[in-house]
Structures are given as structure tokens and as C-alpha cells.
């Protein structure tokens, strides 16, 4: 299984670990219960799926969860998948879609230019 191919509910579990750091499963379940009304069994099932995918490691005592992938790795993979799936692998089409519906301020345009310039270096 691919540790970077996570569904939305698994990403919610990972977000807790990315924000909180290594945490007992009970703590993760408590946060997700407050945020989304999930019961403990739902969270434990999702943690186990993430473990099976290789995104989380479990240690004892107290079923402590440790993220094996970073938010940035998952974001990068998701972005590449989006570009491939929706924009036929074309980043130009992605940017055209992002920028085509909204007017940008001069400051935003300058920031984008700087980002592109920084990529060339």
C-alpha cells in the first residue's frame, strides 16, 4: 500500500499527529471526537489503516502513534496526482485554472513572480 495515498478521513488522523507530534491513540481519538464527533472505534480503525499503509508507526506502551510521512510529502503527492488526473499532467493547465477565475492584486502577482524566479535559481 502507498503511505502517501491517504483518503480524507486518514488525512484527518495524520493532521492531528502533524500538529500534536507523537501521541497516544486515545489522545488522537479525543481530538477527532471533539472536531468531528467520531467515536473511538472509528479513529482506531483509521489509525490501523494508516499503519497498514505505512504512514503511522505504533509503539507501546499506550499505543503511541508516530507519523512516518510529513505533511509536505503528502501534499506534494496529492498535488502531482491532481495535476495528472485532472489537468492531463500539465501544470500550465493547473495554473490557468487557478488564476483564470480570480483577479489578482499587484502584490499577489509580484509574489507569484518571485516564487517562479526562485524556482529558476
pLDDT tens by residue, 82-116: 889 988 988 888 877 877 766 778 888 788 788 87
Average pLDDT on 39-63 reads 96
Mention every residue, 6+ apart, whose C-beta is less than 8 A from residue 89.
Answer: 83
**33 alpha-carbon distance from chain centroid:** 19
Say if residue 67's pLDDT is above 60: yes
Asked if residue 43 lies in contact with residue 32, where contact means CB atoms within 8 angstroms, the answer is yes
Residues 98 and 115 in one domain: yes
Residues 81 and 39 in one domain: no
Helices (H), 2-105: 8-20, 25-36, 40-53, 71-86, 91-100
Residues 65 and 80 in one domain: no
Residue 117: all three cell numbers together? 524566479
Asked if residue 2 belongs to a domain, the reply is no
- pTM: predicted TM-score of the whole model, two decimal places: 0.79
Residues 28 and 64 in one domain: yes
Range of the domain at 29: 8-69
**How many CB atoms sit inside 10 A of residue 14's CB?**
24
Amino acid at each position: 500500500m502507498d503511505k502517501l495515498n491517504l483518503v480524507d478521513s486518514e488525512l484527518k488522523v495524520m493532521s492531528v499527529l502533524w500538529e500534536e507530534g507523537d501521541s497516544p491513540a486515545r489522545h488522537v481519538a479525543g481530538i477527532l471526537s471533539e472536531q468531528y464527533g467520531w467515536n473511538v472505534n472509528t479513529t482506531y480503525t483509521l489509525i490501523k489503516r494508516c499503519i497498514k499503509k505505512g504512514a503511522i508507526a505504533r509503539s507501546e506502551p499506550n499505543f503511541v502513534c508516530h507519523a512516518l510521512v510529513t505533511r509536505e510529502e503528502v501534499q506534494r503527492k496529492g498535488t502531482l496526482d491532481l495535476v495528472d488526473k485532472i489537468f492531463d499532467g500539465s501544470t500550465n493547465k493547473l495554473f490557468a485554472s487557478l488564476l483564470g477565475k480570480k483577479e489578482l492584486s499587484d502584490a499577489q502577482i509580484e509574489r507569484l513572480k518571485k516564487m517562479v524566479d526562485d524556482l529558476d535559481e
